[in-house]
Amino acid sequence: MNYHMFALVMLLLACVEQSLATCVVDSFTVKEDFDPKKYAGKWYALQKKDPEGLFLQDNIWAEYTVGDDGSMVASSRGRVTLFGFWIVCADMAAQYLVPDPGTPGKMFMNYQGLASYLSSGGDNYWIIDTDYENYAITYACRKLKDDGSCEDGYSLVFSRSPRGLPPTIQKVVRQKQEEICMAGEFQPVLQSGAC
């Protein structure tokens, strides 16, 4: 009986260790051979996992464009609540840099709010997956824990249509949310056309 208990405890510890190892941010895979030209165009956020602090709340969309030199920029818009009561449509702009051309899905995003009350800064910005025509899943980790997992991160599920995704694609999205250790943390994003 003691041998069986020991084996069970060891199996449990191995499972816990494996589950923790998969949440190491550097182990997450991104879209292989990401192509910014195929990604360009308008995307609507359908689901989001917010970071700490102020973040766009609903009616979020982003339009990506790619320059002749291959650099990608985006303009985005969404509603945000300021001071606990003032709801406004806010505009953001971003420029994307690819630190390693061998992994074009891992970018660094410099962003700025186009009004004084919005934040500016920079985040790692990864395209976890996309089929370019229907959906995209983005991921950013703002602060790592000592074990390499994310302490403060965010993710968006985008669609080319504000009306949603078909069930077959929803299944892919759920799988990717698990792979980035954010399953169950996403909230739906209202798309009412307010912005």
Quickly state the pLDDT bin for 20 (edges 50, 70, 90).
very low
Q: Which has more confidence, 118 or 17? A: 118
| 55 pLDDT tier (thresholds 50, 70, 90) | confident
How far is it, in rounded angstroms, from Cα 169 to Cα 171? Answer: 5
| Residue 12, pLDDT above cutoff 60 | no
* Distance set, CA 120 to CA 111, 164, 188 (Å): 5, 30, 25
Nearest by Cα to 105 from 80, 134, 125, 78: 125
- pLDDT grade, residue 54 (50/70/90)? confident
| Percentage of the chain modeled with pLDDT above 70 | 88
- CA distances to 59, 70, 77, 103, 119 from 114, rounded to whole Å, are 17, 24, 10, 30, 9
Domains of the chain, start order: 30-188 (2.40.128.20)
| pLDDT digits 0-9 by tens, 74-103 | 999 999 998 889 999 999 999 999 999 999
Name the burial class of residue 156, with classes exposed (0-12), middle (13-18) and buried (19+) by CB atoms within 10 angstroms of its CB: buried
3-class secondary-structure state, position 147? coil
Q: In Å, what is the CA distance from 137 to each residue of 26, 54, 102?
A: 17, 21, 20
Tell me the average pLDDT across 42-70.
Answer: 94
**Rounded to an integer, what distance in angstroms lies between the CA atom of residue 79 and that of residue 91?**
9
Average pLDDT of the chain?
Answer: 89
Which of 49, 33, 64, 26 lies closest to 152 in space, CA to CA?
Answer: 49
pTM assigned to the model: 0.86
pLDDT (tens digit, 9 = 90+) per residue, 95-153? 999 999 999 999 999 999 877 666 788 999 999 999 999 999 999 999 999 999 999 99
pLDDT exceeds 60 at position 3: no
In this predicted structure, what is the pLDDT of residue 19?
45
* pLDDT over 90 percentage in the chain: 79
Tokens of 140: 């950013």
Instruction: Enumerate residues 6+ apart whose C-beta is below 8 A from 96.
Output: 36, 71, 72, 73, 74, 107, 108, 109, 110, 125
CA distance 31 to 22: 17
